[in-house]
Amino acid sequence: MNKILSIVLFLTFAAYGQQQERIAIMHTVDDLDSVGFTDLGYLTDKLRDIAGQILPQERYGIMTQQSIVDRLGSQERAEKECREATCLADLGRKISADYISQGHIGRFSSKLTIKVELYRVRNSTLIGSFTGDSKDLEGLLAILESKAPKLFEDMQRVTDKPVPPPKPVPDSDIVLPAAPAANKECESKFSINELTSKIQSGFPTQLKDCSATLAKNMALAASPFGKKTELKEPKAFMTECTIDGIKQKLPLGAEEYAKPVEAFVQNILNLASAVGGGLDVKKLSSAIGGMNVNDLISELKAKAANDPCVTDEPYEPPAAFENVGEDEKNDDKSILSLGFRGGLNFSHLSSDNGSYNSAVGSQLGLVLDIALSDLFHVQPGLTYIQKGAEDSNGNMTSHYIEVPLLLSLKFSVLRVNAGPYFGICLDANTSHSFSDFGLNAGLGFDIGMFYIGMFYDYGLTEFYSYSSPSGRNYELFNRTLGLNLGVNL
């Protein structure tokens, strides 16, 4: 009797185990290694706890970390697989899971980001995902606690749909005609016109914004004024930044259409690759400017032609004409901007027999920035500036109103400036010239709304002349090195 009872119990538990679907919550990964292993483990445990609270135990079983490690061979192997997995579904097949989820920690600007994805292993289907950002780990934990429950609730609604049993495999000597493909189950339908409209309007902007952010971060990291922080690999940053932004714009049910967009981004990054395989930021700007978004739109429409979940309903972007005036104002603002500059000068007078000692002065003025393109800018200005030198008789400082007209080449946050200037001397002393014409060259950094830079004025107009006791004539010219700070409006 006891043997019969044991067999019955064994079969009952076996049947129960077969009914359960295994959920693997993989260890959370931070590619930059800036978050400690313990903190990553806590986020993983929290995600596993939420799954256990939401999913009914009679239907789903949460795999333990030890069972995952046992299937992969060792703890080291498990950590390596988690970090290097390019497809979560493939990793799920290795550990015999039915569903697999994992969190990724990243960086965007100065914030931490988190992305959690959940896949059905059998057909590599993305069940759902969510993203968020915060200044600290506690904020990421709050995002996990608020968004993860819905992820697993949505998973139940998707997986509760009955799955037809597999058809028996015919004998090898029987040739049967190919069965027609099963109709795709549509959780929701969407308009291809809505999809292409959002991609066409949002993709170029998203790509340029991510490129500008990357260039800014790289320039700041390389400059003496930037905070030294470890940067994400440029190609990985561009892909993640662009695709995460596009996914937020896609209509419900169109998640798989992010794949052609990602492939299109990869082609652009390949065109912008340097000799060693890394990303060349200068080439990237050129590749983005020369891309043809219509090629991507055509590919999306071709994919949608065979998709039963796609409709051809007309789509009109919301408030298509309401913000035209505001957009034009923003365009004007992006073309014209005003800035204030001020700082210190170190000037001297140069002649054939040497130069006088430098005198310290100051400068204060306005600059108007006219953006002819992302690269070429013109900057006229109006500046009060002190020039001169020191000799045995003391300070020879003169006061000028100067009008520079500079061509400015803008490489993300870096500016290289060069052009002529014309100055009028305000001093009443008639022993020297009242005008000063010359060349100005310099460089600077636009860090947000702030500017820091330097310039050099090379005077071409004689400031003062004198004759030596031997009868030789000497001509003196202004030379000025300036350091300035400013605010861009």
CATH number at residue 142: 3.40.50.10070
Write down the pLDDT at residue 431: 67
Pair type for strands 310-311 and 190-191: parallel
Write down the pLDDT at residue 84: 64
Is the pTM higher than 0.75? The answer reads: no
**Position 38 in a domain:** yes
Q: Which of 7-21, 51-65, 438-452 has the highest mean pLDDT?
A: 438-452
Which residue, 260, 287, 318, sits at the end of a domain? Answer: 318
Q: 46 with 130, same domain?
A: yes
Q: 198 with 142, same domain?
A: no
Domain count within the chain: 3
**Position 252 in a domain:** yes
Q: 395 with 431, same domain?
A: yes
Q: Are 81 and 178 in contact (CB under 8 A)?
A: no
Element (H, E) at 441: strand 435-447
Write down the pLDDT at residue 177: 45
Mean pLDDT, rounded, of the chain: 80
**Position 3 in a domain:** no
Q: 53 with 197, same domain?
A: no
The closest alpha carbon to 398, from 353, 351, 435, belongs to 435
The torsion of the CA quartet 201, 202, 204, 205, rounded to 10 degrees, works out to 110
Q: Band the pLDDT of 358: cuts 50, 70, 90.
A: confident
**Position 428 in a domain:** yes
Write down the pLDDT at residue 402: 95
Q: Band the pLDDT of 128: cuts 50, 70, 90.
A: confident
Q: 33 with 109, same domain?
A: yes
- Three-state SS annotation for 76-142: HHHHHHHHHCCCHHHHHHHCCCCEEEEEEEEEECCEEEEEEEEEECCCCEEEEEEEEEECCHHHHHH
What is the tens place of the pLDDT at every residue in 408-447? 999 988 999 999 999 998 875 556 778 899 999 999 999 8
- Rounded Cα gap, residues 72 and 77, in angstroms: 6
Q: 287 with 354, same domain?
A: no
Q: Which of 211-220, 245-254, 438-447 has the highest mean pLDDT?
A: 438-447
Q: Does residue 411 or residue 7 have the better pLDDT?
A: 411
**Position 165 in a domain:** no
Here the tokens at position 379 are 């900057």
Q: Band the pLDDT of 377: cuts 50, 70, 90.
A: very high
**Position 456 in a domain:** yes
> How many C-beta neighbours within 10 Å does residue 203 have?
21
- Rounded Cα gap, residues 117 and 258, in angstroms: 14
Which residue, 292, 318, 344, sits at the end of a domain? Answer: 318
> What is the dihedral sign for C-alpha 39, 43, 48, 50?
positive
Q: 433 with 366, same domain?
A: yes
Q: 221 with 302, same domain?
A: yes
Q: Which of 349-363, 390-404, 450-464 has the highest mean pLDDT?
A: 450-464
Write down the pLDDT at residue 267: 87
Write down the pLDDT at residue 442: 95
Residue 224: helix, strand or coil by DSSP?
coil
Which residue, 140, 159, 178, sits at the end of a domain? Answer: 159
Q: 299 with 389, same domain?
A: no
Here the tokens at position 135 are 């200044």
Q: 141 with 204, same domain?
A: no
The closest alpha carbon to 464, from 423, 424, 434, 433, belongs to 433
**Position 9 in a domain:** no
Q: 143 with 239, same domain?
A: no
Range of the domain at 145: 17-159
**Position 63 in a domain:** yes
Q: Band the pLDDT of 212: cuts 50, 70, 90.
A: confident
If you average pLDDT over residues 278-300, what whole number do you get? 84
Q: Are 352 and 380 in contact (CB under 8 A)?
A: no
CA–chain centroid gap for 23, Å, is: 32
Q: Band the pLDDT of 173: cuts 50, 70, 90.
A: very low
> How many C-beta neighbours within 10 Å does residue 334 have?
10
Q: Partners of 252 in the beta sheet?
A: none
Q: Band the pLDDT of 323: cuts 50, 70, 90.
A: very low
Q: 283 with 399, same domain?
A: no
If you average pLDDT over residues 207-226, what whole number do you get? 73
If you average pLDDT over residues 81-100, what whole number do you get? 78
If you average pLDDT over residues 10-26, what whole number do you get? 63
Based on the number of CB atoms within 10 Å of its own CB, is 397 exposed (0-12), middle (13-18) or buried (19 or more)? middle
